[in-house]
Amino acid sequence: MFSLTNIELFSVGLANSAIVILGFIVFFNERKSATNKAFLIFSLVAALWNTANYASTQITNEILELWVLRSVIFFAVWYCFFLYTLFYVFPDHKAHFSNGYKYIVFPAALFASFVTLSPFAFKSIKEFAPVGEVPVTENGPGMVIFGITVILLIIAASRMLLKKMRAASSDRKIQYRYILVGTMVTFSLYIVFNFILPVLFDKVGFIRLGAVFTLPIIVLTTYAIMKYGLLRIKIISTELLSFALVMTSFVEVLLSENLEQRIFRSFITILLLAIAIYLNRSVKKEVEQREVLSKLTVELQQKTQILEDLSSINNHQQRTPLTVIKGGIDMLEHSKLTKAQRQEIIDQMKNRVERMLHTLTEFSVGFSPKFKSVNVVPKKDNLEEAVRMIYDEHFELEKARQRRDPKYKKLEFVYEAPKEPLPPVWYDRNNVLHILSNLMDNAVSYSDTGTIRVSYGVDKDFAIVKIQDNGMGVTPEEKKIIFDKAKRSERAKKRYAFGSGLGLFLAKQIADESKGSLDVESKGVGKGSTFVLKLPLYKGQDTKGNDEVNKTL
């Protein structure tokens, strides 16, 4: 017959096995992680404490009972200590223990645990209890040390968890919440069944169920630690389960009574082993595929977000010049204007049409997933003219702004013409105008004071254009992404929320495609930036390697 004691033994055994298995699952998932190690030790100590707890209610030998009771509070100290350690380490991969931990907390726990084993805690057993109940003991002053240590450790552990939870980023907070809920449920159960009921109502029958009460903290902490690798649990559980099956079957082989049985059972064991290997491999494959899938999903979400942002920015960038053109037509039609005013409106409208074409190219590039490179058609051309044109355009625009608004930032402009006329350059003017315009736009947009300086140089076979500002500068980290497609630094976003992150990307593509280069130099935050554009000098590129040679001769 199945008695109550058996059901209890069963549930305690089951809960304890679950605790140990979860401890190992977490550990094996990432053996080098300090958090996982701390969790394994914590779950093992919890299981030992639960076992001692249960045993203390089952033993009938007086001496043994005294020592089992002592071991209960001994493990209780370490249980609390490793709870503290777990929260101390979580969620880090590597543990850094402070001096306070090494020289105060650990020695204190060590001392308290020695006290629990000495007669200073449990002196003797006053009244022996029947099986299933807790005996009455004669307690010494050591119990106070035990009580204080345990309470302090639990308070310190909770404070540690709350402190880390508050400092955690929002996606990490969920992890802490699971652990917090688990801890609260487990300790509420302890307080109710191991403290309030026994002390206030004299009901001690639940103490031996401690293992069941420990489950919430273990299960929820397992979930929190494995949150980013939950699928891995499937692999490890399959491994553990199949290992257990094969081992059981193997033990049966050893216990066989005759040769026939042994041969039959060996056959079964080998079959089980084969199935286990197959099962493990297929589970592993499935999990790996699912991991790839979830990674792709995240990537897709990020890409969609970028496209959505781009589409909003694109919409805005197209509407802005349209507003000027539409407004300009309205003004030309309905307002009394001087000749000069009419001319200005027409000039502005022309300028906006060009800009629209510009942004259209930029965004068609940005939106196209198949984009490989821009179409650059170089020819022998004067570079200085193009630079001068873009420089003048920006200079005039800024000066006009400064005149209109006395509070507007007062940037200076310096144009350093080359000392000797620049030799002809092999480049595609339309495309390079895009680079120059973008660089000048940026110099103005990301500077509050100082000078925008344009200068030239020649380096071997390359013409160099430098655009220098005294603006917000570029950090080494920002340098890594500054030319990436649709990527912008946090500082850039903060300063101007509606940039597309396409301008410099496209500029770099054009420079590379022109067999030149585009780079940025900066001494850091607030120290200004210098963009350096290199383009190849004309060295008869159009005459090399084709029939053109004959024509030029």
Alpha helices by DSSP H, listed for 190-258, are 197-201, 210-226, 230-254
Instruction: State which residue, 295 or 494, has the beta carbon closest to other proteins.
Output: 494
| Site for other proteins contains 331 (CB under 8 A) | yes
The CB-of-434 to other proteins minimum distance in angstroms stands at 21
The CB-of-462 to other proteins minimum distance in angstroms stands at 34
Q: At what angle do helices 339-367 and 429-445 cross, to 10 degrees?
A: 100
Site for other proteins in 342-371 (CB under 8 A): 345, 348
Residue type, 436: L
Choose the stretch contacting other proteins; rule: CB under 8 A; options: 90-98, 221-229, 326-334, 387-395: 326-334
How distant is the alpha carbon of residue 135 from its chain centre? 52
Phi, psi of 203, rounded to the nearest 5 degrees: -100, 110
Instruction: State which residue, 293 or 497, has the beta carbon closest to other proteins.
Output: 497
Q: How far apart are the first and last CA of the chain?
A: 112
Q: Which residues contact 252 (CB under 8 A, 6 or more apart)?
A: 265, 269
| Site for other proteins contains 324 (CB under 8 A) | yes
The CB-of-344 to other proteins minimum distance in angstroms stands at 8
Site for other proteins in 292-321 (CB under 8 A): 312, 315-316, 319-320
| Site for other proteins contains 397 (CB under 8 A) | yes
Which of 497, 545, 550, 553 is the binder for other proteins (CB under 8 A)? 497
Say how far apart CA 494 and CA 57 lie, in whole Å: 65
Instruction: State which residue, 152 or 324, has the beta carbon closest to other proteins.
Output: 324
Containing 320, the helix (H) or strand (E) segment is: helix 259-334
Say how far apart CA 284 and CA 281 lie, in whole Å: 5
Residue type, 501: G
Instruction: State which residue, 97 or 367, has the beta carbon closest to other proteins.
Output: 367
Say how far apart CA 191 and CA 465 lie, in whole Å: 75
Interior angle at CA 355, CA 353 and CA 359, nearest 5: 120
Instruction: State which residue, 168 or 397, has the beta carbon closest to other proteins.
Output: 397
Report how far apart, in Å, the C-alpha atoms of 431 and of each of 83, 512, 540 are.
64, 12, 20
Instruction: State which residue, 294 or 335, has the beta carbon closest to other proteins.
Output: 335
Which of 323, 364, 373, 449 is the binder for other proteins (CB under 8 A)? 323
The residue count for binding other proteins (CB under 8 A) is 32
The CB-of-299 to other proteins minimum distance in angstroms stands at 24
Beta bridge partners of 379: 427
The CB-of-330 to other proteins minimum distance in angstroms stands at 4
Beta bridge partners of 137: 125
Residue 385 CB: number of other CB atoms within 10 A?
Answer: 10
Site for other proteins in 431-490 (CB under 8 A): 445
Instruction: State which residue, 219 or 331, has the beta carbon closest to other proteins.
Output: 331
Choose the stretch contacting other proteins; rule: CB under 8 A; options: 44-52, 184-192, 244-252, 404-412: 404-412
Say how far apart CA 101 and CA 103 lie, in whole Å: 6
Which of 62, 138, 291, 330 is the binder for other proteins (CB under 8 A)? 330
Say how far apart CA 196 and CA 215 lie, in whole Å: 20
Which of 335, 343, 364, 449 is the binder for other proteins (CB under 8 A)? 335
Q: Is 521 helix (H, G, I), strand (E, B) or coil?
A: strand
Choose the stretch contacting other proteins; rule: CB under 8 A; options: 48-56, 341-349, 375-383, 512-520: 341-349
Cis peptide leading into 91, omega within 30 of 0? Answer: yes
The CB-of-506 to other proteins minimum distance in angstroms stands at 21
Instruction: State which residue, 195 or 408, has the beta carbon closest to other proteins.
Output: 408
Strands 122-127 and 136-139, by their bridges, are antiparallel
> In this structure, what DSSP letter does residue 117 have?
H
Site for other proteins in 225-264 (CB under 8 A): none
- Give me 307's structure tokens: 């496209």
Say how far apart CA 362 and CA 510 lie, in whole Å: 12
Choose the stretch contacting other proteins; rule: CB under 8 A; options: 74-82, 96-104, 139-147, 397-405: 397-405
| Site for other proteins contains 58 (CB under 8 A) | no
Which of 154, 495, 513, 541 is the binder for other proteins (CB under 8 A)? 495
The CB-of-467 to other proteins minimum distance in angstroms stands at 19
Which chain residues interact with other proteins by CB under 8 A? 312, 315-316, 319-320, 322-324, 326-331, 334-336, 341, 345, 348, 397, 400-401, 404-405, 407-408, 445, 495-498
